[in-house]
Structure 1
């Protein structure tokens, strides 16, 4: 699904890691913040480790509970919703880019409370409506809807929220 590393396969990494060094660094990398397997693979690729050792390192991290896709999906969805005010569509798209399974994506999205989600949407609508300086009400409405769609909110909820303003 992603294309990192495919465009420049011959590009040398900045600094190579040995396998022992990689294990220690990955443990601290995964301890600092929840990571997906895709992010760990990408990091290993950047550091010059490819093939079977990558899978061995990832399986060791999973066994030691440093990597957990479900935990990552839940944390990612919670964080992007609460901090960046992303909608479900954007969160789902970003999780798919990180090659998270559909089951884990659903579990992650279940972390978002529907009432809190709609309140957040209403807040975003009001905020964007006030900031938009367009005089024509139709153009203003269009700009607000486009903004909310880019944030990943669902079209029917956006229409309902914008309609409640007017």
Structure 2
């Protein structure tokens, strides 16, 4: 059984969605998902989306840049994992690639190196090749590219 949809006036709904976008950068897919909670005719949804974009509450590039910064700096995700998650949110590959300049190459390599050293030091009782293999698998799961991992290991 579906929960009751909330009934608000057009202006109240618009204000709620403005607040939703102001609280944190959002992508179009998240806003459209939020709109499903409200009873709206398609024309009203379109008008609200246009208003949010026109007033710069909804900006796909700003969202992408902030998402990349956050996932890299806070969660220490690699570019591959970030790209997969952004694509799931409906962000184009072209935009994602354009926004990767938010991650500086030096910081990226330092992060891979730090994660590599931390993880490898926790592995006890394994042969060197086993440690290396497990660590590479771990870093790949964090979204780092194999070439970058090898570059860090060999340096």
Question: TM-score, normalising length from structure 1?
Answer: 0.84
Residue 29 (structure 1) aligned to one of 9, 20, 39: 20
Matched length? 155
Distance 1:31 1:60 in 2: 13
Deviation at 1:115, TM superposition (A): 0.9
Distance 1:13 1:158 in 2: 50
Counterpart of 1:149 in structure 2 is 140
Counterpart of 2:121 in structure 1 is 130
| Stretch of structure 1 that moved more, 96-105 or 17-26 | 17-26
* Correspondence list, 1:77-96, <5 A: 77-96=68-87
Distance 2:135 2:74 in 1: 20
Distance 1:43 1:78 in 2: 24
Confirm or deny that 1:38 pairs with 2:29: yes
Counterpart of 1:117 in structure 2 is 108
Distance 1:119 1:50 in 2: 50
Counterpart of 2:50 in structure 1 is 59
Deviation at 1:88, TM superposition (A): 0.6
Instruction: Quickly say closer, same or farther: Cα 1:124–1:48, change in 2 above 3 A.
Output: farther
Residue 73 (structure 1) aligned to one of 64, 75, 82: 64
Deviation at 1:94, TM superposition (A): 0.9
Structure 2 gap segments, 5+ residues each:
none
Distance 2:115 2:124 in 1: 16
Q: Is the 8 A contact 1:15 1:47 kept in 2?
A: yes
SS in 2 for 1:84: coil
SS in 2 for 1:22: helix
Distance 1:155 1:13 in 2: 48
Instruction: Quickly say closer, same or farther: Cα 1:41–1:135, change in 2 above 3 A.
Output: same
Q: Is the 8 A contact 1:78 1:108 kept in 2?
A: no
Counterpart of 1:6 in structure 2 is none
